[in-house]
Amino acid sequence: MNKPKFKVMIVDDEPTIIRTVRRYFMLNALLDTVEFYESATFQEALVQLEAVNPNIIIQDINLPDGNGLQFIKQAKKKYPMIQFIVITGASDLDRAMEALSFGAVDYLKKPVDMEMLADVVREALRRCERWGELLWSEYMAEEGAEDAS
């Protein structure tokens, strides 16, 4: 049985961050189950959000055309199951805590420790799998209830 493909979107205006994350996961077994998408701006991320419907978003807080916190807030309203992982500079720790209050699952300081990011992404993938199993169970229960009536 094939493993499901999860969609991970990286939202950061620093091309080196995006390249580093992609390269790390290319050398890691996670690449087999993950498709990567990237956005460098707030507006680009909004478009990608609708087009891709990612499971996980690795999100920088400071974007050239908007605030990453606002992006998390907007996205979580429409897609509450997205797992957000915030990456931020050391001076943004208060804002990272605010991101957690908006529903982000974790945050990492820049420069990003790639092994730590991989651990956080693995945990987010497990959460996505559990969400999928829960939703499937609910769907099957509803189907069973409809068939019984």
Q: Is residue 1 situated within a structural domain? A: no
Task: Work out the pLDDT band at 91, boundaries 50, 70, 90.
Answer: confident
Tell the residue number behind the tokens 């945050």, with chain if given.
107
Statement: residue 8 has pLDDT above 70: yes
Give, as one character, the DSSP assignment of residue 11. Answer: E
Nearest by Cα to 31 from 108, 122, 127, 103: 122
Vertex 35 angle, CA 101 and 19, to 5°: 80
Is pTM beyond 0.75 here?
yes
Domain assignment of residue 13, yes or no: yes
Residue 42 has which token pair? 């707030």
pLDDT at 55: 93
The answer to whether position 131 is within a domain reads: yes
Among candidate residues 92, 26, 35, the one with its CA nearest the CA of residue 59: 92
CA distances 87 to 11, 31, 45, Å, are: 9, 20, 15
Tell me if 82 sits within 8 A of 75, measured CB to CB.
Answer: yes
Number of domains in the chain: 1
The domain containing residue 112 runs over which residues? 6-148
Residue 14 forms part of a structural domain: yes
Model confidence over 29-74: pLDDT tens digits? 666 778 899 999 999 999 999 999 999 999 999 899 998 999 999 9
41 falls within a domain: yes
Is residue 31, in this structure, part of any structural domain at all? yes
Query: Could you tell me if residue 105 is inside a domain?
Result: yes
pLDDT tier at 83 (50, 70, 90 boundaries)?
A: very high
Query: What CATH number is associated with residue 25?
Result: 3.40.50.2300
